[in-house]
Amino acid sequence: MDAAIETRDLSISFGGHQAVDSVTVSVPKNHFKSIIGPNGAGKTTFFNLLSGQLMPTKGQIFLDGEEITKLSKANRTRKGIGRSFQITNVFPNLSVLENVRLAVQSQAGIRYQFLTHFQNYKQLDGVALEWLEMVMLDAKKHILAKNLAHGEKRKLEIAMLLALNTKVVLLDEPTAGMSIEEVPAILEVIRKIKEKGDRTILLIEHKMDMILDLSDSVMVLYNGTLLADGTPEEIMKNETVQSAYLGGHYDERTAESE
């Protein structure tokens, strides 16, 4: 099966510390892979390498078979890698609809013109509204982003990623900081994206029930190395994973972001 995104011996070190160490992994197109591991395992650093926030010390990254190891963050976005962060990244003083419309404009290669009447953007608004419906925010399209609840901001950020027509979506702890009441809504959004079946999704998450419910496969990072990679059932039965991660060495209730 063709790989959407692939790494070969991907590594990065900081002052002698090997944060990611020779990770080789291949993620098929339209596949849902979760990444788990104890605090400090290198999960977010791995995402930073994929999205271009960091450049590797050694190794290669491929998107649809094309090497992108040395491409900038912006160029990787143009080629189809979309990244969400543990802290929401939206334009607070723009409306919900305007946030997504900017992503639609960017994807279409249309620059914002201050003197262009808003009516000229109606077609773009229609596309943006479709993405807002996908994440169940269409009823709040005219609200300023800063006035959304935390969970709603996460949904808005996901809508913006989708509007960029991303082929590979990197979700870094999308439920981080959410109240218990907000989590089901974001789960439904992620499930809808998966069921649509036209994107590859990589998810960093601590909630094991969420991972087991959504994932086609799970990879386990431990001290920067790839400890295991397999189906959720295989990972749960893996004795090495159980002793290093699922056993007494880790408690998801006290886990903090890396």
Q: Over 152-176, what HEC string results?
A: HHHHHHHHHHHHCCCCEEEEECCCC
3-state secondary structure of 67: strand
State the helix-helix crossing angle for 183-196 and 150-163, rounded to 10 degrees: 20
Helix H or strand E segment including 219: strand 217-222
**0.85 surpassed by pTM:** yes
- Angstrom CA distances, 60 to 10, 29, 46, 166, stand at 6, 18, 12, 21
pLDDT at 246 (0 to 100) = 57
Residue stretches of the chain with pLDDT short of 70: 1, 86-87, 109-121, 245-258
Rounded Cα distance, 195 and 233, in Å: 20
For the segment 166-179, what is each residue's pLDDT rounded down to a tens digit? 999 999 999 988 88
Helix H or strand E segment including 76: helix 73-79
- Angstrom CA distances, 140 to 22, 89, 98, 133, stand at 45, 18, 11, 10
Tokens of 134: 């996908």
pLDDT at 115 (0 to 100) = 40
User: Structural domains in the chain?
Assistant: 1-79+214-258 (3.40.50.300)
3-state secondary structure of 55: coil
